[in-house]
Amino acid sequence: MFEKLKKMVIDYIDYDENAITPETEILRDLEMTSYDIVTMIGELENEFGITMDEDEIKEIVTLGDLAAYITKKL
């Protein structure tokens, strides 16, 4: 799951692939704007056929957290 998310992030924003790890923080490290995040959430929901709960996603900090969250929703 993490590798698929990593590819989606690389496709979405210009970021060094080698610098992305499960510990990469979405806001701090990737410097994603709120618009970027909302757009990416929509893409993730479509890609995986899930609905992401707004209160639950507020707790997601890293890409590893996001991968675990999506895996749990599947």
- pLDDT for 15-62, tens place per residue? 888 999 999 999 999 988 888 888 999 999 999 999 999 899 999 999
Give the model's pLDDT for residue 55: 92
Helices (H) and strands (E) counted in the chain, each on its own, are 4, 0
Answer whether residue 12 shows pLDDT above 90: no
CA distance 16 to 1: 19
Burial class (CB in 10 A: 0-12, 13-18, 19+), 27: middle
- Tell me 30's DSSP state: T
Give the model's pLDDT for residue 15: 87
Given pLDDT bands bounded at 50, 70 and 90, which one contains residue 14?
confident
3-state secondary structure of 25: strand
2-73: what fold? 1.10.1200
